[in-house]
Amino acid sequence: MRIRVKFSKCGNVKYVGHLDTMRLFQRAIKVAQLPVAYSQGFSPHSLVYFALPLAVGMQSEGEYMEIVMKDAISALDVKEKLERVMVQGIKVLDVFEVEEKTPSLMSLVQGADYKLVLKVLEQPRLTAATLEDKLATSNELIVLKKGKKGIAPLDIKPLVLESRFSDREDLIDIDLKVFAGSSKNLNPDLFIKALVGESPYELEVVRKELYTEGKDGFMPLYTVGRVE
């Protein structure tokens, strides 16, 4: 059976990289004595999969992982056992079984919501209206992105699905929905660089949710293939 786990990653644990987060959960699953399945071969490993790597320094309220179980176990038991052994900063939010034919987590991810808090460090500072107007009136937003073939220009505007800007004292709050996943992906930091340009800034980012695209639009991952 397949068990999907939604969790948050906040506080100092945001500085733990993706590979170490994977190892953390693998150890937690072992300590919790969950009946996880293992791969075959000379170097068997637990069948634990994650949706989309989270950048170091970024917090999240909507991360997902999946555990393949060799024996049946209730979602409630998994949640309770993981909560007993989980480290500070990671909270198990939801646990549920998914149908066997449901696509893998990584293949499902096609969009993401982010909450950005931007502080521009120069005066006169940019405002929410300034950034919103630049996004609305620009035919393209070009940034330099490093890839496998080196650094190349990228127009990020087609990757932005929704955005809302608001001023708060000396900060700008931004709600952002973008394409995310293996085929099309926009890092929020690139979005800010495209709008702010050379202006120095500080940025805090929280990933709120991950989505897949269906016939009726984008659906959060906790709705996909869920067994009630």
Q: Average pLDDT for residues 184-191, to the nearest whole number?
A: 92
Beta bridge partners of 166: 173
Secondary structure E strands in the chain: 2-9, 48-50, 59-68, 90-98, 111-120, 142-147, 150-155, 160-168, 171-179, 201-214, 217-220
Residue for token pair 């179980």: 69
Residue type, 70: K
**So what's the pLDDT on residue 7?**
97
Q: What is the residue-averaged pLDDT of the chain?
A: 93
Does the pLDDT at position 149 exceed 90?
no
Q: What is the pTM of this model?
A: 0.91
Integer Cα distance of 193 and 198 in angstroms: 8
Q: How confident is the model at residue 141 (pLDDT cuts 50, 70, 90)?
A: very high
35-63 tens-digit pLDDT = 999 988 888 889 999 999 999 999 999 99
Does the pLDDT at position 146 exceed 80?
no
**So what's the pLDDT on residue 199?**
85
**So what's the pLDDT on residue 144?**
83
Cα 97 to Cα 4, 29, 44, 64, 217, distances in angstroms:
6, 16, 24, 13, 23
**So what's the pLDDT on residue 42?**
82
Q: How confident is the model at residue 94 (pLDDT cuts 50, 70, 90)?
A: very high
Does the pLDDT at position 23 exceed 90?
yes
Helix segments in the chain, DSSP class H? 18-31, 75-85, 105-108, 128-137, 188-196
